[in-house]
Amino acid sequence: MNYIQRALITAIGLGANRPQDAIYPTSEGPNVLESYTGKKKYVMHFPKGELPPTQGFWSVTMYDKDYFFVANPLNRYSISARQSLKPNADGSVDLYIQHESPGADKESNWLPAPNDKFILMMRLYWPKTTPPSILDGTWKVPLAKAID
């Protein structure tokens, strides 16, 4: 048993899910020295066949710097395979994380960002236990990389 994890959940996460049920990787920036900002454009790229490996579902959720949902013209607060994501010609999938629309042809894959700082959280419900899996480190969340 992981006693440190259990103590942390008891202290700050009453009722938290076990990792086998849900994992919430969170990112405040593209690296440890930089925050995400709506003044830049980011892409999260998933190679063909490498969307998050879950038996339930996954999403990428957008929060402002205070962990509140971000009001936006699409009323879209998260993006996931439950939506009609448009694959690239090679079968990979790009998520566009930015303040301005990436264009009508990419809007199905757009997660609107505020103009200032924001936070990304991936929600993985019932993650797969066999590789590739986030549970054993054989699958890793792709970075949201700045473009332009």
* pTM, two decimal places: 0.87
Place of tokens 């924001």: 118
The fold of 20-147 is Jelly Rolls (2.60.120)
pLDDT category, 99, cuts 50, 70, 90?
very high
Q: What percent of the chain has a predicted confidence (pLDDT) above 90?
A: 79
- What local confidence, expressed as pLDDT, does residue 7 receive? 67
What is the band of 148 on the pLDDT scale with cuts at 50, 70, 90?
confident
- The pLDDT tens digits for 10-61 are 665 555 677 778 899 999 999 889 999 999 999 999 999 999 999 999 999 9
Residue 52 CA from chain centroid, whole number: 10
Dist CA 63 CA 48 (whole Å): 27
Where exactly are the structural domains of the chain? 20-147
Structure tokens at 104: 């009508």
Name the nearest CA neighbour of 142 among 94, 109, 102.
94
d(CA 130, CA 135): 9
